[in-house]
Amino acid sequence: MGPRRSTAVRRTGALAACLGLVAVGGCSSGDDDGFGEVPARPSTSASGSASAPASSSPAPRSAQEPELDVEEVAGGLEHGWDIGFLPDGTALVTERPGRISLVSGLREGASVTRVRADLDDVYVNSEGGLLGMVVHADFAQTRRFTTCQTHQEGGAPTDIRLVTWRLAADGRSAEREKTLLDGLPISTGRHSGCRPELDADGALVVGTGDTAVGSIPQDLTSLGGKTIRLDLETGKPMEDNPFPFAEDPMQRYVTSWGHRNIQGVALQPGTGRIFTAEHGPSNNDEVNLVEPGKNYGWDPAQGGTVGGYDESVPMTDTERYPDAVPAVWQSGRTTQAVCAAEFLEGEQWGAWDGALVVTALKGAKLLVLSLDGDGSVTDVAIPEATNGPYGRLRAARLGPDGALYVTTTNGDDDKLLRITPRT
């Protein structure tokens, strides 16, 4: 076994139900920030269960899986939640405790400067705080970016909001322009979700969490446990959403429902399809291919027949909801606490050109998912170079230089990492 090589394997059914990791200690939940086990030994490959049937796809440009180099771009962060690249070669990083940082460059030795911004109303607790971010496509002209953040009033959580900011020309401060959308549910901060992505039409797609309230995932009038889609400029629901004429205005935003806690949203190059990464309870983290107007089957209220939050139900309950969309991949009998999702793109990635990368919090690794033409997962590889040494991994964004940028989220001197295939 090479020290930096990961060879994907093909497995199905029960054999693939577990990632085959020897764990230290115990963790009963795949939730975002329950600090759980890190693998006790390296693992070079893994495969979860693929629910969708396999189909033919174009041959990859290269059959060679790349060895990876990892460069520490900058440190001094605390729970870096998302990354936004700016036209001048710098980057913004949102930090969950309620900070925005400007990183001076994308190579080793970059400096980190705190951006002055009024974030006093951010509710920082449990999995809540300053979360996902997108830089607007017209940033060079407008200096705008939009964040997800949990909101408080009088010290009490009220909702989760999308807020649009304008970064000063010198990058030292940011002014709040407007609240783009409010009213996303919140409880204690658990299952706050809130990962944004721009789709092929320039609309803002956001994956949300169910806030650990059992009735919310199946409630079409709530924006929790959903994917939603809205206009990045006006904050209004897109007119081609599945429920444009719904009586309840919140339902007009809904694209899909029946989700537990979406932490990753990724746009597939060439197809425009949206994939999400979602936390399971004590098993079955999921990767889903979003189909507008469809139910993904998470229902801890069991159709309203039980109170509280029953996490023993299946992640995709096809018995209660026969038309629920099955995941394209599940982690099986354990969880990795999957987080961000991003597609690799470019010939330099060899066999992984077009693969979906998912970060893992509890699992402390990258998962590289190879997809067939229909979106089903054929292989899951674990690159040796990122299997454990950096701890919990959260954000993942493909940079303008074709490198993958990832943040650690250990809470102490967290890093921005640059990951590239070795040439």
Q: Is residue 319 part of a domain?
A: yes
Q: Is residue 367 part of a domain?
A: yes
What pLDDT score was predicted for residue 63?
Answer: 59
User: Cβ of 314: how many Cβ atoms within 10 Å?
Assistant: 17
What pLDDT score was predicted for residue 46?
Answer: 40
What parts of the chain have a pLDDT lower than 50?
Answer: 1-29, 34-61
- CA atoms within 13 A of residue 196's CA, in its CB half-sphere: 31
What pLDDT score was predicted for residue 43?
Answer: 31
CA dihedral 122, 124, 129, 130 (to 10 degrees): 50
What pLDDT score was predicted for residue 344?
Answer: 98
Q: How far apart are CA 327 and CA 325, in angstroms?
A: 7
What pLDDT score was predicted for residue 31?
Answer: 60
Q: Which two tokens stand for residue 263?
A: 């932490």
Q: In what order do the strands lie in the sheet with 91-95?
A: 80-85, 91-95, 99-103, 112-115
Q: Is residue 325 part of a domain?
A: yes
Q: Is residue 375 part of a domain?
A: yes
Contact 168, 189 (CB under 8 A): no
State which residues form the domain around 18: 13-421
C-alpha closest to that of 48 among 290, 333, 264, 288: 333
User: Cβ of 389: how many Cβ atoms within 10 Å?
Assistant: 12
Q: Which two tokens stand for residue 291?
A: 């189909």
Q: Is residue 6 part of a domain?
A: no
Name, in order, each residue with C-beta under 8 angstroms of 390's C-beta and a sequence gap of 6 or more. Answer: 70, 364, 406, 408, 415, 417
Q: How far is CA 10 from CA 20, 175, 192, 359, in A?
A: 14, 50, 34, 20
What pLDDT score was predicted for residue 64?
Answer: 77
What are 49-106's pLDDT values in tens digits?
Answer: 433 333 322 333 355 799 999 999 999 999 999 999 999 999 999 999 999 999 999 9
Contact 198, 205 (CB under 8 A): yes
What pLDDT score was predicted for residue 197?
Answer: 98
Q: Is residue 5 part of a domain?
A: no
CATH code where residue 35 lies: 2.120.10.30
Q: Is residue 2 part of a domain?
A: no
User: Cβ of 322: how many Cβ atoms within 10 Å?
Assistant: 9
What pLDDT score was predicted for residue 38?
Answer: 26
Q: How far apart are CA 149 and CA 128, in angstroms?
A: 8
Contact 103, 93 (CB under 8 A): yes
Q: Which two tokens stand for residue 181?
A: 């959308």
What pLDDT score was predicted for residue 33?
Answer: 52
- Number of separate domains in the chain: 1
Phi–psi pair at 145, nearest 5 degrees: -145, 155
* pTM: predicted TM-score of the whole model, two decimal places: 0.89
Q: Is residue 1 part of a domain?
A: no
